[in-house]
Amino acid sequence: MYARELKLPLGEQSCFLFGPRQTGKTTLLSLLANARPRFDATLLDTETLLKYSREPGRFRREVAYWAERHPGGIVVVDEIQKLPPLLDEIQQLLDSQAGRVSFIMTGSNARKLKRSSANLLGGRAWPYTLFPLTCRELGRDFDLGSVLRFGSLPPVIGRTEGFCRRFLKAYTQTYLKEEIL
């Protein structure tokens, strides 16, 4: 586990946290937001995705109810690009619950949101990007040769060359298929 240098305005400002897959967005949030009450909506969970896709207003009602009981809390919506209509619900919550709750919305595909003309919350949520690990974050584990060959996604750090090659082949095939095509 490496300490990340990205500082998010937890509790002060809502934000989007974008970045490539496997950079550690979800892991970072699990470490950062533990000091405050937290409402999680993980859209990778099929049950959660189906529940809110059938009735996006349910998300707004559940969060409003929760926010009344947890002022200063943080709402984390993981993989927001899977359900862009939730952004309209989030805007209503930001307007009606101003100062009471803030949002962190993660996503690996900002292009999908922009292409779908999703509500990007016009100044209500600031965009941040989490990139692969930097040499400062890696500290003593930084190996220039390895980073030049395999990059610095967390799953490849400290792994064998064979693992790194297999991981990156699978990663790029999936990325090209799902993100680019």
Domains of the chain: 1-131 (3.40.50.300), 133-181 (no CATH)
* Count of other CB atoms within 10 angstroms of residue 99: 8
29: which residues sit within 8 A by CB, 6+ positions away?
Answer: 17, 76, 78, 104, 106
pLDDT (average), residues 114-122: 68
* Count of other CB atoms within 10 angstroms of residue 36: 13
Q: Confidence band (pLDDT; 50, 70, 90) for 154?
A: very high
Structure tokens of 139? 């500290």
pLDDT score at 179 = 64
pLDDT (average), residues 154-167: 94
What type of residue is 152? S
How confident is the prediction for the chain on average, in pLDDT?
Answer: 87
* pTM of this structure: 0.85
The answer to whether 8 touches 129, Cβ cutoff 8 Å, is: no
175: which residues sit within 8 A by CB, 6+ positions away?
Answer: 20, 21
The answer to whether 152 touches 132, Cβ cutoff 8 Å, is: yes
Helix axes 56-69, 86-96, angle to 10 degrees: 30
Give alpha helix (H) positions in the chain.
25-32, 46-54, 56-69, 86-96, 110-115, 135-138, 144-150, 161-175
Structure tokens of 170? 């699978």
User: Exposed, middle or buried, 167 (CB in 10 Å: 0-12/13-18/19+)?
Assistant: middle
Residues 119, 59: Cα–Cα separation, whole Å: 16
pLDDT tens digits, residue range 64-98?
999 999 988 899 999 998 898 999 999 999 888 87
pLDDT score at 75 = 92
Structure tokens of 34? 């533990």
